[in-house]
Structure 1
Amino acid sequence: MLAAGYAISGQLGPEIAHLAHLQTLNLSKNNFSGVIPLELSNCTLLESLDLSDNDFTREIPRSLKNLQNLKVLRFDSNSLSGEIPDGLFEIPHLETIYLNHNNFNGSIPSNIGNLTNVSKLWLNNNLLSGTIPHSITNCQKLGSLDLSYNAFSGGLPPGVGNCSSLYELAIVHSNLTGNIPSSFGLLDKLSHLDLSENRLSGRIPPELGNCKSLTELMLYTNQLEGEIPIELGMLSELQNLQLFENRLTGEIPISIWKIQSLRYVHLYNNSLSGKLPLELTHLKHLKMISLFTNKFFGVIPQSLGVNSSLELLDLMYNQFTSQIPPNLCFRKRLRVLNLGNNHFHGRIPSDVGKCPTLQRMRLEHNNLLGVLPEFLDNPNLAYINMTGNNISGKIPSSLGNCTNLTSIDLSMNKLGGSIPPELGNLVNLTRLSLAHNHLQGCLPPHLSTWKKLDTFDVGFNSLNCSIPSSLGNLTSLSTLVLEENRFTGGIPPFLSKLDRLSLLRMGGNLLAGEIPSSIGTLKNLRYGLDLRSNGLIGHIPRELGYLSSLQSLDISSNSLTGSLDVLNGMQALLEVNISYNGFTGSIPEKLMVLAKRYPSSFLGNPGLCVNCPLSDGLNCVGNSNFRPCAGSSSGGKKLNKSEIAMMALGLSLGVFLLLGFACVFLLCRRKQHEVLGREPMDDDEPLLNQIMEATENLNDRYIVGKGAHGAVFKAELGPTNVFAVKKLQFSDHEDGSRSMIREIQIIENARHRNLVKVEDYWFRKDYGLILYRYMENGNLHDVLYATNQQRKLEWSVRYKISVGTAHGLAYLHHDCDPPILHRDIKPQNILLDSEMEPRISDFGIAKLLDQSSASGTSISVSGTLGYIAPENAYMTVRGKESDVYSYGVVLLELMTKRKPSDSSFMEEVDIVGWVRSIWSETQDISAIVDSSLMEETVDSNIAEQIIGVLLIALRCTEKEPSSRPTMRDVVKQLQDVNPPQNSRYSKV
């Protein structure tokens, strides 16, 4: 009975039992639903049963084991569930079993070895678990076995080589562990082997070289290690070799490059090394070769493109040198050319640009120079990335003929001239980045054709004229960056048409006039609005307050006036900079948190003040940068002039009296500090009593950390009131009291989101207490090295810690007056809150860098071994550069998860010397970073960020202090390596 593909629906009824003489039943590719009827087992003469590609549900009836004449059983592509009945594997004549693409669970029946006649067994794409039964090795006639996409435990049966008829074996993404059995070498008929996306370990068995029929060998995305066996070169029929994303080392055996049948070679994301041999150029059938993210070096053979059918060449993230050879497009088949992040130099061969089949070209972050090749003969080109080179000259107008282009990144070069209007022909563009060049002139008016453009970045050039109205037609834009140019005119009102904008940066131009109210209609603005350093005037329009999702606002260095009340409703703001304008009035309540964290972002507005109501003085605490608003604590009727005058006179007298009392009090307190270094603790203070009660009078079992001068206790006063109490011993440590006083003096006046905040403090005869908010994630040292640490420290978290710590140090060095040197930056002094936001702590040996000490030295050495700058080895040079060095060491620790004096380093070599040596020799990030980050480096954007942070760390740890960047520079450089929009690397 054949009724396949007739779109029959409904259920298969029990009446099927009446077809007692039925030998073939094929109802595949219909719309049957419901269960497989039990009565089907009465059709005992059935030899072929095919119910595939329907919607049958529930379990397979166990009674089907009665179909003892069955040879073909196909239930694939249904919605069957439950366990596979072991009775099926007792049907003696079964040759083909397709149960794939269902929802079967449980284990493969252990009696699978009874299927001595089965030649095809597909159980892939189910929910099977347990181990693969060893009895499967009894299936001597088994030719095609597919167990992929299940969730097995354990590894491959060691005796799998006994299945001597196997020609196809696929167990992909099935959680396999252990080694690949050497018995695979017995499978001389095997042509297709795919064990990819598992957790297989150990070495690739050399016995695989005996599988002379292999045409496809796919072992990618495992944990295989060691060298590629030379015996694989004996696979004379091999066409497809995919070993990428493992831990393979050493050189690729020459014997492999002599396999003339090779078409696809994908070995990327390993630690392979060596040069590309000339034998590679003799592979006439080679279509694709991907070797990116390895340690290959040397030159690309000159004749690589001459004798091959090469379509894809990806050598990114290696150490190739010399020039890009010509003739890569000799056969005019090349579609993808990825050579980025190497050390290529010289000019880009002109024929590369003229390859008519080329679709993607990545040459970023090399040392390429000269001019861009003409792209006139390249209509298929869809993707260009040449950022981070030394390419000069003009952007060729012929680029406008590549009408299939979707992404262009020519940023960070030395391109000059104007943007050619022919680029307006690129109607498929989604991303255009020309930032950090020397472009001049106006933006061409022919931009309205870019209907698909998502990102437009021309920042940091010398473009001028007014912003053309044609930009208003780019309605798909989410990122618009025009900053640091010379654009004139006003902020164009047509920006309101760009309702998908999430980032708008126009700072550092010559824009004038008022901020148009129409910007308030950009409801999707989320990541940032930057209008800084222009000539803007007037008030902030009230419509700006409608940007409820905006996280970052920078309108600093303009001539804006009026009130900040508009910003009070912007709930999502995490960063705001309104400095150096003419704003007046009180800082809105919602901005007070940001004003406390980033006071420098509010400076330069002498008319600003903070409210200090009598009922709640918290708004003024720690805000010595701002004056209190006049009459902020009064509330009643409006005063007349005489009343105001009398009040002013009274206030003046009161202020003088208070100042007098304050001076006497401070002089007495200073004298007491100078003589005793301490003052008595008030035992009647409620908060102190609560602290002592919560810690049972500072019982040792509440200790969460210890330092040089004492211990830190955890005090829980309630679900939201958890504190850390730092107890500093005075009696056993002569410097204890001085350290405490120094810490309080410094940290009380330094307020920043990335610095710890002193909540309160008390002195006693033998010790003092400093009260901080408790940091839920402890310190960075424990997060990195604690043996019981279960949280994986992703790169995004490490980057966040790097940036936050840099912000905190930049504040100490550049926003405090006088500047503050921490002098003991290390992971133990970087605390992490519940969101892994860092807080710099422990200012016990910090110094105020006033004019008298700016160039002074001291014989005493402060800091911790391993973090002390070289110039401080024998005497302390009081400069910010020493903090920068310590910060650089912390960055290296964050990336490597190694301590400054790790035992794996060579004798007399610290982390700085070790990293610098490896990087200079190999330029290989995988040899440096923490192994737990390796999976993330598959994403080329993350790999680029890690390399960028590594280079910053190396600059911070330069031996010569004058060669180190300032912490302000570090913050800027960290932001540059993690732009809001990154191009995603996609494999073709």
Structure 2
Amino acid sequence: MEGVTSWAHSVYILLFFSLFLHAQSQQLQSNEQTVLLRLKQYWNNPPLLVQWTASSSPGSHCSWLGVNCTGGSVTELVLSNMNINDTAPSFLCDLGNLTKLDLSHNNIPGGFPKALYNCSKLQYLDISQNYFVGPIPSDIDRMSNLQYFSVAANNFSFDIPPAIGRLSQLRSLYLYQCQFNGTYPAEEIANLSNLMELALAYNTKLIPSAFPVSFTTKLKKLTSLWMTDMNLMGQIPESIGNLESLHFLDLSRNPLTGKIPSSIFTLKNLSSIYIFGANLSGEIPQKIESLELEVIDLSANKLTGSIPEGFGELKKLKSLVLMFNQLSGTIPESLGRLPALTDVRLFSNNLSGVLPPDFGLFSPLEGFEVNKNQLTGTLPENLCFNGKLLGVVASDNNLTGKLPESLGNCSGLLIVSVSNNRLSGKVPGGLWTLFNMSIVQLENNGFSGDLPDRISPNLSRIEISSNQFSGNIPESIGSWKNLKVLDASNNLLSGSIPGEITDLALLETLLLDQNNLSGSLPEVINSWDHLSMLNLSNNRLSGQIPGSISLLPVLTQLDLSKNQLSGNIPSQLGTLKLTVLNLSSNQLTGRIPDELNNLAYSSSFLDNPGLCASNPEILLKACSSQSRSSSKSSKNLLFIILAAVFASLTVVVVCAYALKIYRDSRRDIGYTWKLTPFLKLDFTESDILTGLMEQNVVGSGGSGKVYKVPIDHWQGRCVAVKRIFNSRKLDHKLEKEFLAEVRILGKIRHANIVKLLCCMSSESSKLLVYEYMENRSLDQWLNRKKRPLLLSGGSGDVPLDWPTRLKIAVGAAQGLCYMHHDCVPPIIHRDVKSSNILLDSEFNAKIADFGLARMLIKPGDIDTVSAVAGTFGYIAPESAHTRRVTAKIDVFSFGVILLELATGREANDGDEEMSLAEWAWHHLQEDRPIADALDDEIREAGYLHEMISVFKLGIICTAINPLTRPSMKDVLYVLKQWSDSYGSPLQKKAVDEYAAAPLPRISKRAQPQNDYHSKLSPDTF
């Protein structure tokens, strides 16, 4: 009986203990759910966390997005890309069993979240790709259990603290792409004996230092070493061969010197090696033992000698990139037999001999670029044997023979570029019609045959100048709908130019000069809206110049010289804004249109005996006048002689200047450029320089031009390149200041600030390379004269609707707010205007162009726009009498943009020579209704109260006294109150109340800005 009682007692105790543990578990789960819901509320309910809702079901939170549990308790929070905009709260560590926290790719501001010190079990922490600022704490080693630590792509600055080296459990350390501007603790990091992955790349402000030899002797478990662009100096130590576990090595874009250590190619586990854009010299080591290599990128160095024969033994090699070096000799035949090879980039070297005939036969070759060498022989016949080939670029060599017939059956082919060789024969017929074909470049060869009747629907560029193509231009050319560039100059084409050619609505460049074309010029009816360059010179064209040419809206270069054209020059031709016009050597008669009677076209009409000019500086033959007296004629004769002398001198000066410009442009393609990257680039220096062609110009200003440069012809990707001209070499101090400012901007990462990808510098100019924005700039949408024909491929004069304008205002305000309030130190733009608000394909606004061109002007030099930094209409009043630059000058300029959005007027578009801001104030001063000032194109669209509210906010921002202007944080707060709850009763109520707020009467003798701002301050919002 006693035994039974004892047994029952034991069962009772076990049951009680089990129930107690269950209750404890349920309590823990309930507490964890409470913490998570509190976290969601703290972060203002991010849309992606909508699934996080309270539930009485035990453990239900373990199935929420981003939440992982072990044993019913939360151990992992993976909240990457959740659009979190606030800090990490201290109560987050109430999740007591948390071992992994991933908050990467959000918008979290502030300093390093020390509250995470309380997460005592944390082993994995990733806060990369946010907006953290300041130093990494000197006591970071308190997080002693960390095995994975990533703070990459933030704005952390100062030194990397030595305490990092006391995180003894670390396996992975990612510190890349921050703004550290001191030192990094190389010796302490070398003590992390368990470290497997180390990333310090793209910390361009670190104090220059040598490659740490201690890394090579102590970090025996290291598998990945990423140290791109972090000011490494000196030589790569031979002891790097001690890193026997290394798989990935990237030392690119550092000012290294000396040779490539031979020990690198003895690392038997090494699969990827990147040391491009350094300053290495000498030959590539010939002894190759790293048979696991898949990627070799040693491009953009000063390497000499030959390509090692040992590369032909790398059976796993996929990518061989040796471009921009000084390599010579032949290409080893064994490379053509590598079974995994997909990417071959050997261009811009001194390689000679024939190409290995087996290229493509044994491997899935995708890219083949061997241009700018001294190669001879023929192109390999089997480049597309495995059907994977995307592009062949072999221009600027001495290749002979025909294009391989197999290219005509290569279905994936996107580009064929073989210009400047000695190739001949007919182009394989199938090449023109390959569905994916985008670019065909065959210039300067001996190709013959007719132009194709049919081409690929995706073909955008045909460049076949200086060949022997003959026959007529086919009438079917009207079906080449996506063609943007047709350059068939200097061939043997004959017959007339078919009228169907004017159906090519996307055509930007048409060059048919130096052929045997005859007949009349086709009429331009309603197409060619994008044509900027037209050259039909050196043919046998006859008849009159069609007046319809004047309908081409963006034509800038027109050359019809050396033909048999007759009749008058159409008077409408003077309405075009031509930078190049040549009508010389024809049979034209009559008077030159008045708009063309100036020295800009002084050589445009030569050798047309029947032409006369009212301006004797243009032609010696002046148009006759019966009322002219003999004395007046003699005076005019003297004037003509003097004018001829002046014109001759002008020609000399212009030619000298043109020669200088030509020489400067030729330097662009040399090796005098310095490239400073701010992100990992997928394009080269050559991609940018070769794209600086006139037909790629999309804008211009006092400091230079802006180009749309294609960087990936296969995928159609482009970048925007702003070229800042400089007439003289910059002094060292100015150069350093410019690069320092550029580097700051290059590190800014915000959704509403355009990405500055890199900077390129030469003695004659600077190139700033930005992401390309499809919808251009805000001013082009507000200005009815500039407004492009966009919007879903439609046409017509379509204004921006009000919701889109408000969205743009909020986006631009967010970008400026980040610069003023979240950057350390704050960044003041100084040239905020609607042309510097760029719009992507979804009309998201991004701030651009930080006035860098003005930095190239020395003190005392005269700015071509204004002695005061900025643009007329946007310049704050205090800028005229003080050099002190504050954030309030940006607020003033942004207020002008708000007025532009509300009124549809331009910043310099006021009555009686007033700016828009002055005009808006006078409009109120005269007690006129605000509604009368609003954009009449959208005023009746149901958003009247919102437009009035934005107009008032613009008034507040454009106060004369900068102290009465709100901060950008206040402005953004007001705009977001209207946009975040767009269309809701709350939003409608707020806007209606604000729009209905009475405005006080103002004496004309008063300063209206001060009076208004005393009553309409941000405190009243």
Scaled by the length of structure 1, what TM-score is found? 0.59
1:326 aligned residue: 333
Asked whether 1:315 is paired with 2:322, we answer yes
| Residue matched to 2:199 | 194
Match of residue 146, structure 2, among 118, 133, 142:
142
| Aligned equivalent of 1:434, options 438, 442, 455 | 442
What residue number does 2:233 align with? Answer: 225
Do 2:547 and 2:573's aligned partners in 1 also have CA atoms closer than 8 Å? no
Q: Distance in 1 between matches of 2:116 and 2:122?
A: 10
Q: 1:527 aligns with which of 522, 528, 532?
A: 532
| Equivalent residue number for residue 181 of structure 2 | 177
Distance 1:174 1:529 in 2: 48
- Tell me whether 1:238 sits opposite 2:256 in the alignment: no
In the aligned structure 1, how far is the partner of 2:579 from the partner of 2:26?
74
Match for 2:650 among 746, 750, 772? 750
Match of 1:834 in 2: 702
- 1:886-921 Cα deviation digits (max 9, x unpaired): xxxxxx99898699xxxxxxxxxxxxxxxxxxxxxx
Equivalent in the alignment of 1:106: 110
Say if 2:364 is the partner of 1:357.
yes
Q: 1:239-270 CA distances to partner (integer Å, 9 max, x unpaired)? A: 11122222222212122211111111111111
The more displaced of 927-936 and 139-148 is 927-936
Q: CA deviation at 1:834?
A: 3.4
Where does residue 556 of structure 1 map in the other structure? Answer: 561
**Residue type at the aligned position of 1:385:** V
Shift of the 21–162 alpha-carbon distance from structure 1 to 2, 3 Å rule, reads closer
Closer, same or farther: CA 897–279 of 1 in aligned 2, 3 Å: farther
Percent identity (aligned): 28
1:342 to 349, 353, 359: 349
| 1:541 paired to 2:549 | no
Shift of 1:117: 3.6
Kept in 2, the 8 Å contact 1:51–1:75? The answer is: no
Task: Indicate the residue corresponding to 2:630 in structure 1.
Answer: 653
Q: CA deviation at 1:929?
A: 5.5
Question: Hey, what's the Cα distance between the residues in 2 that align with 1:156 and 1:385?
Answer: 44
Residues 315 and 340, structure 2, Cα contact 8 Å, conserved in 1: no
Other-structure match for 1:167 = 171
The one of 402, 407, 411 equivalent to 2:410 is 402
CA contact (8 A) 1:353 1:377 kept: yes
Alpha-carbon contact 1:520-1:547 (below 8 Å) kept = no
Contact 1:227–1:250 (Cα < 8 Å) also in 2: yes
What SS does the corresponding residue of 2:617 show, helix, strand or coil?
A: coil
Cα distance in 2, alignment partners of residues 331 and 177 from structure 1 = 44
Q: Which amino acid aligns with 2:324?
A: Y
Kindly state the Cα deviation for residue 803 of structure 1 after the two structures are TM-superposed.
12
What residue is the counterpart of 2:600 in the other structure? 597
Change (3 A) 1:931 1:598: closer
Q: Closer, same or farther in 2 for the Cα pair 1:897/1:370, shift >3 Å? A: farther
Q: What secondary structure sits across from 2:108 in the alignment?
A: strand
Distance 1:658 1:308 in 2: 86
Deviation sequence 1:795-849 (CA, Å, 0-9, x none): 99x999x999xxxxxxxxxxxxxxxxxxxxxxxxxxx993459xxxxxxxxxxxx
Match of 1:492 among 494, 498, 502: 498
SS of the equivalent of 1:628 reads coil
Deviations 1:27-47 (Å, cap 9, x if unpaired)?
9999x9765699x9999xx99
Which residue, out of 398, 420, 432, partners 1:390?
398
C-alpha deviation, 1:408, in angstroms: 0.3
Residue 452 of structure 1 corresponds to 458
Could you say if the C-alpha distance between residues 496 and 747 of structure 1 is closer, same or farther in structure 2, counting changes exceeding 3 Å? closer
CA distance in 1, matches of 2:704, 2:654: 11
The reply on whether 1:472 has 2:372 as its aligned counterpart is no
Structure-2 residue corresponding to 1:623 = 617
The answer on whether the counterparts of 2:33 and 2:54 sit within 8 Å (CA) in structure 1 is no
Per-residue Cα deviation, 1:834-878 (whole angstroms, up to 9, x for no partner): 3459xxxxxxxxxxxxxxxxxxxxxxxxxxxxxxxxxxxxxxxxx
DSSP 3-state at the match of 1:399: helix
User: In the TM superposition, what whole-angstrom CA distance separates every residue of 1:577-599 from its partner, at most 9, and x where no partner exists?
Assistant: 1111122222223323xx41241
The answer on whether the counterparts of 2:402 and 2:424 sit within 8 Å (CA) in structure 1 is yes
Deviation of 1:393 after TM superposition, in Å, equals 1.6
* Equivalent residue pairs, number: 654
Structure 1 unaligned regions, length at least 5: 1-17, 56-68, 612-619, 632-647, 671-742, 758-794, 805-831, 838-891, 900-925, 940-988
8 Å Cα contact 1:306/1:327 also seen in 2: yes
Q: By how many angstroms is 1:220 displaced?
A: 1.8
Matches of 2:261 and 2:767 in 1, distance apart?
25
How much does 1:271 deviate? 0.9
Which residue of structure 1 aligns with residue 667 of structure 2?
A: none
- In structure 2, C-alpha distance between the alignment counterparts of 1:249 and 1:51, rounded to whole Å: 54
Q: Deviations over 1:123-142 (max 9, x none)?
A: 12222111111111232211
Query: CA offsets per residue over residues 650-682 of structure 1, 9 Å max, x none?
Result: 73533466479x69x99xxx9xxxxxxxxxxxx
Larger radius of gyration: 1
Tell me whether 1:580 sits opposite 2:585 in the alignment.
yes
Secondary structure (helix, strand or coil) at the match of 2:478 reads: helix
1:106-154 CA distances to partner (integer Å, 9 max, x unpaired)?
1014565555542111212222111111111232211111112221122
Q: 1:354 to 1:42 in 2, by over 3 A?
A: closer
SS of the residue corresponding to residue 313 of structure 1 reads: strand
SS state at 1:128 partner: strand
Q: How many Å separate the matches in 2 of 1:214 and 1:170?
A: 13
Please report the RMSD computed on the Cα atoms of aligned residues, expressed in angstroms: 4.5
Distance 1:462 1:383, change over 3 A: same
Change in Cα spacing, 1:293 to 1:231, as seen in structure 2 (3 Å) is same
Q: Verify the 8 A CA contact 2:89 2:115 in the aligned structure 1.
A: no
The letter of the residue matching 1:625 is L
Equivalent in the alignment of 2:756: none
- Tell me the amino acid that sits aligned with residue 553 of structure 1: L
For residue 213 of structure 1, the aligned residue among 221, 226, 243 is 221
Alignment match, 2:296: 289
Q: Secondary structure of the residue that 1:432 maps to in structure 2? A: strand
Q: 1:195/1:24 Cα in 2 relative to 1: closer, same or farther (>3 Å)?
A: farther
SS at match of 2:612: strand
Q: Is the 8 A contact 2:260 2:285 kept in 1?
A: no
Q: What is the match of residue 489 of structure 2?
A: 483
Question: Where in structure 1 do 4 or more consecutive aligned residues deviate above 6 Å?
Answer: 26-30, 40-43, 46-52, 89-93, 892-899, 931-939
Aligned equivalents of 1:188 and 1:336: distance in 2?
36
Q: Secondary structure at the match of 1:247?
A: coil
Instruction: Give SS of 1:271's match.
Output: coil
Conserved? CA contact 1:481–1:506, under 8 Å:
yes
Is the Cα contact below 8 Å between 2:475 and 2:498 reproduced in 1? yes
Contact 1:212 1:237 in 2 (8 A): yes
Alpha carbons of structure 1 residues 192 and 490: separation in structure 2 relative to 1, 3 Å: same
Instruction: Answer with 287-296 or 198-207: which moved more.
Output: 198-207
**Cα distance, 1:438–1:145 mapped onto 2, change above 3 Å:** same
> Which amino acid counterpart does residue 535 of structure 2 have in structure 1?
D
DSSP-derived class of the 2:548 partner = helix
The answer on whether the counterparts of 1:138 and 1:162 sit within 8 Å (CA) in structure 2 is no
**Aligned 8 A contact 1:610 1:629 in 2:** yes
**In structure 2, C-alpha distance between the alignment counterparts of 1:112 and 1:28, rounded to whole Å:** 15
Matched, 1:203 2:210: yes
Q: Describe the superposition over 1:704-752 as per-residue Cα deviations: whole angstroms up to 9, x where unpaired.
A: xxxxxxxxxxxxxxxxxxxxxxxxxxxxxxxxxxxxxxx9976895269
In the alignment, what sits opposite 2:280? 272
1:541/1:211 CA distance change after superposition, 3 Å: same
Instruction: Note if contact 2:120-2:143 (Cα within 8 Å) is conserved in structure 1.
Output: yes
Q: Answer yes or no: is the 8 Å Cα contact 1:29–1:52 preserved in 2.
A: no
Deviation at 1:378, TM superposition (A): 4.3
Would the alpha carbon gap of residues 747 and 755 (structure 1) be closer, same or farther in structure 2, given more than 3 Å must change?
farther
Q: CA deviation at 1:315?
A: 0.4
| Residue pairs, 1:642-681, within 5 angstroms | 648=626, 651=628, 653-655=630-632, 658=635
- Equivalent in the alignment of 2:155: 151
Q: Which residue of 1 aligns with 2:576?
A: 571
